[in-house]
Amino acid sequence: MASKLIAPSILAADFANLQRDIEMINNSDADWFHIDIMDGVFVPNISFGMPVLRDIAKHATKTIDVHLMIIDPDRYIKTFADLGSNILTVHYEACTHLHRTLQAIKDEGMKAGVAINPHTSVNALEDIIHDIDLVCVMSVNPGFGGQSFIENTYKKVERLKEIITLNNANTLIEIDGGVTSKNAEKLVEAGADVLVAGSFVFKSDNPVNTISKLKEIVNT
């Protein structure tokens, strides 16, 4: 079985020491950088934008997984490709023509992801599953780090895994929000491939160790 991945969320990093935190991830067992872009419209918060991503990409030596929590993401697909994104995830709820958006992301040479809010059914993705490289299942309402994990997520992940398997698709399942060492194992059992972790990593005493422990939990 392919190894399960850990993607620390930069949202919980110390932005006054961003290079230090990026190098910590470079030198850890983490697999990806998870980068949250919020526009203050799709979600009730504003995170950071292009200049910050550009500088993160300068130092990061691992896959850059960008999670766009913005309306009308089509406007910025090329920009995010040019900034160094490897995976670009848009919200199902923000895309009127999701199929077209996913093709546009792939045309720019990136992997295409779709994020779904807690209220969105995974069944809505059935007819488009072959076009999605990654589904980001939101296990909190998007917009903020440090929120509690929504328990209904396990059920959604199981059903999504079923859809992927039945359709012979290669889509990865990513979980985003409230991930800790307490729910990591159960999430992987349900079918998750990638776990995003923000606060649990950055607010811990030893983030490098925390990442290693998570990585071990999901791969044993």
Name the residues annotated as catalytic: 36, 176
**Binding Zn ion by CB under 5 A: which of 4, 67, 161, 215?**
67
| CA–CA dist 179, 102 (Å, integer) | 27
Residue 181, number of CB atoms within 10 A of its CB = 15
Binding partner at 147 among ligand DX5, Zn ion, none, C-beta below 5 to 8 Å by kind: ligand DX5
**Binding ligand DX5 by CB under 6 A: which of 9, 89, 101, 210?**
9
Confirm or reject binding of residue 177 to ligand DX5 (CB under 6 A). Answer: yes
**Binding ligand DX5 by CB under 6 A: which of 73, 113, 142, 207?**
142
Confirm or reject binding of residue 176 to Zn ion (CB under 5 A). Answer: yes
Nearer to Zn ion, 133 or 176 (CB): 176
CB nearest ligand DX5: which residue? Answer: 198
Burial class (CB in 10 A: 0-12, 13-18, 19+), 22: buried
Confirm or reject binding of residue 198 to ligand DX5 (CB under 6 A). Answer: yes
Query: Are 143 and 45 within 8 A, CB to CB?
Result: yes
Nearer to ligand DX5, 88 or 197 (CB): 197
CA angle 36, 37, 41 (to 5 degrees): 125
Q: Whose CA is closest to 31, among 58, 52, 4, 2?
A: 4
Confirm or reject binding of residue 49 to ligand DX5 (CB under 6 A). Answer: no
Burial class (CB in 10 A: 0-12, 13-18, 19+), 45: middle
Nearer to ligand DX5, 171 or 199 (CB): 199
Confirm or reject binding of residue 4 to ligand DX5 (CB under 6 A). Answer: no
Q: How far is the CB of 155 from ligand DX5 (least distance, A)?
A: 19
Q: Whose CA is closest to 147, among 72, 53, 5, 36?
A: 36
Nearer to ligand DX5, 46 or 50 (CB): 46
* Cross-strand partners of 9: 34
Query: Which residues have C-beta within 8 Å of that of residue 127, sequence separation ≥ 6?
Result: none
Nearer to ligand DX5, 120 or 147 (CB): 147
**Binding ligand DX5 by CB under 6 A: which of 24, 57, 175, 196?**
196
Using CB under 6 A as the criterion, which residues of the chain lie in contact with ligand DX5 when the complex forms? 9, 11-12, 34, 36, 67, 140, 142-147, 176-179, 196-200
